[in-house]
Chain A
Amino acid sequence: MNAFSVILFQSATSSIRTARLLKKEGIERKMVPIPRNLSPDCGYCVRIRSEDAGRVKDLLVQGGVEFDRIEEWAEVLINREAM
C-alpha cells in the first residue's frame, strides 16, 4: 500500500495553483518531478498523502482547479529507474 499519491495536470500553472491551495488548507504537499511511468511530460506534479486524496479532490473541484488525474505514487519504480 502506497503512502503517497500524485496529482497530474495538463498545465504547470495548475500544479502551482494546487500547491498554493493545499498550503492554504494546511494539507501536506510537495512539488515533485512527474514520475516517468505515469506521463512522458517533463514538468512537475503535486505529491500528497494518499489518505488526503479524497479531500484534495473535493477541494480542487470546488476551487475550479483543472487537473488530469490522481495516481498512486509508485516510488519503487523511481528507484528501479535510478539503478
Chain B
Amino acid sequence: MTNPASRDVQPIYFDNAATTFPKPQEVVDAVVGYMTTIGGNPGRSGHERSIEAGEAVFSAREAVAALFCCDNPMRVVFCSNATDALNLAIQGILQNSGHAVTTAMEHNSTIRPLKELERRGGVEVTVVPCPGGHLDVAAFERALRPSTKLAVINHASNAFGVLQRLDDIGEICRRKNVVLLADCAQTAGAVPIDIKNEPVDIIAFSGHKGLYGPTGTGGLVLSERFDHGMMRPLKFGGTGSNSDSVYQPGFLPDVFESGTLNVAGICGLRAGINHILSLQGGVRGIQLRKKELTAYFLARAADRIRGFRSPVPPELVETGVISFAIEGMEPSDVAYYCSDRYGIMSRAGLHCAPLAHESMGSFPRGTVRFSFGIYNTREEIDYAVNALEEISTMKRSA
C-alpha cells in the first residue's frame, strides 16, 4: 500500500463520533443562505429579516421536536453543543444541593459538571458500575435515595457504542420521582428516540454529530412531564421578550436562551435533520447500515489483523463506534500510522471517557476508535483493514 498522497482516492474519515464529515450540501447551503439572504436577529425586531430568521429558527425547533417525538416545539432549547446542554440540565437542576446518580460509562461532559458540583460542596454523586458496558440496573435502583434529584445516563458510549436501556432505567426513576436526563450526544440521529413514549424527562443532543449540522449546535428537549421551573438558567440576558423587565422571563424557550442564537448553525442543523430523514429508513435505516459496517469491519479485522482486540461483542455496538487495540502496540501509534501513512482519520486514547475505559478494562492506555457515518463504505473498510494488517506486521518486524 502507498501513501494517501499517491492514492487516487480521498482520505478516509472514521472520526464521525467526534463530528461528522462531510456535511451534506444542503447543510452548507442553509448556512450560507442565512448569511447571504435571510440575515436578521430572530425575535428582536419586526422587520422582514428578523421575522425570516425567527421562522428559520422555529422550523429548526419543529424539526428537532419531531425527530424526538416531542409534540411541542417550544420545549426545544438550543444550546451551543451537547456539553453546554448537559451543563444547563445538570447545574440548573442540582444547583447546590441534593444527590445525583450516574453511570460508569459517562463522557466527561456529564461526569465533570457532576464532580465539580460535588467538589464545591452540597451535591453528592453516586457512579453506578457498568460491567461489560451495560448499567447494573439493580445497583442503579439501590443507589437512589430520598434526596436523589437527578439521574444522568449516557445513552450510548462515545467510546464503545454500547446502548443503555432507557425504558428500564426510566421506569425506576419515575417510580422514585427522580428526573432522568439522557445524554444523547452519540445517539441523536443514530438511534430512534421517542421522548413521548419512553420514560425520559430530558434529552441532551449534539447538532454536529449524527444530525449532520454545523459545530456550535445542540440543545435540550424537555418532555411534557418535566416542570422546567425545576431547572434554573445558567445564563441571563436579552431574549427579545419582556424587554421592560430587568428580570429573566420564566417561559420556554426564552428562559434558557439568552443572547443571540447561532442562527446560521441552527439553519444548517435543520437541513441536516431533513437530510438524514430523507435517507432510506430514516434514523433506523442509518442505525442498521452502521451496524452492517461494524459487523463487516469486525469480522475482517478479527480474521486478518494479528493481535486485534475489541472489548465489545459486535452485536452490542449500536452506533457505528468501534474501539480496538492491537496487541503490543500503543493505540496512539496505530492511529498515527493510520493517519500519516494511509490517510485514515481516527481517534486514539480515552475519548474523554476515562470511566467508560475503566469499565471496559482499557484504562489508562485507551483504544483506537473508528466511528462510521452515513458516507462510509465497505471499500473504505477493506482499505482500512489492509492498512491495519500492514501496520501490525510492520511494527512487529521493526
Contact = CB atoms under 8 A, between A and B. Distances in A.
Interface of A: 9-17, 19-20, 31-34, 39-44, 64, 66
Given A43-B243, A64-B71, 15 more contacts: A10-B242, A10-B251, A11-B239, A12-B43, A13-B57, A13-B61, A16-B42, A16-B43, A16-B51, A16-B55, A17-B74, A20-B55, A41-B242, A44-B46, A44-B50
Interface string B89-129: 00000000000000000000000000000000000000000
B72 A13 contact: no
Contacts of B73: 17
A10 B55 contact: no
Given A11-B249, A64-B72, A44 B45 contact: yes
Given A12-B42, A66-B251, A42 B243 contact: yes
Given A17-B58, A41-B242, A31 B46 contact: yes
Nearest to B224: A64
16 contacts: A11-B253, A12-B240, A12-B254, A13-B43, A13-B57, A13-B254, A15-B54, A16-B43, A16-B57, A19-B55, A33-B45, A41-B243, A42-B44, A44-B46, A64-B71, A66-B74
Interface in B296-329: none
Given A10-B249, A16-B54, A41-B241, A32 B254 contact: no
Contact of B54 (A12, A32, A41, A66): A12
B252 interface: yes
4 interchain residue pairs of minimum CB distance: A12-B43, A33-B46, A40-B244, A44-B46
Contacts of A41: 241-244
Contacts of A34: 46
Interface string B18-46: 00000000000000000000000011111
A11 B46 contact: no
A76 B71 CA distance: 40
B58 A11 contact: no
Given A17-B74, A43-B44, A11 B241 contact: yes
Interface of B: 42-46, 50-51, 54-55, 57-59, 61, 71-74, 239-244, 249, 251-254
A39 to B, nearest CB: 8
| Chain B interface mostly | loop
A33 B44 CA distance: 10
Contacts of A20: 55, 58-59
A16 B58 contact: yes
Contacts of A31: 46, 51
Nearest to A40: B244
B44 to A, nearest CB: 7
A56 B1 CA distance: 68
Contacts of B61: 13
A40 B57 CA distance: 24
A33 B46 CA distance: 5
A10 B44 CA distance: 13
A20 B59 CA distance: 9
A4 to B, nearest CB: 15
A28 to B, nearest CB: 16
A42 B44 CA distance: 7
Contacts of A42: 44-45, 240, 243
Nearest to B76: A13
Nearest to B58: A16
B51 A11 contact: no
A11 B74 contact: yes
A14 B251 CA distance: 11
Contacts of A16: 42-43, 51, 54-55, 57-58
B251 to A, nearest CB: 5
B273 to A, nearest CB: 17
A40 B243 contact: yes
Contacts of B240: 12, 42-43
Nearest to B54: A16
Contacts of B249: 10-11
Contacts of A9: 241
Contacts of A44: 45-46, 50-51
Contacts of A15: 54
Contacts of A40: 243-244
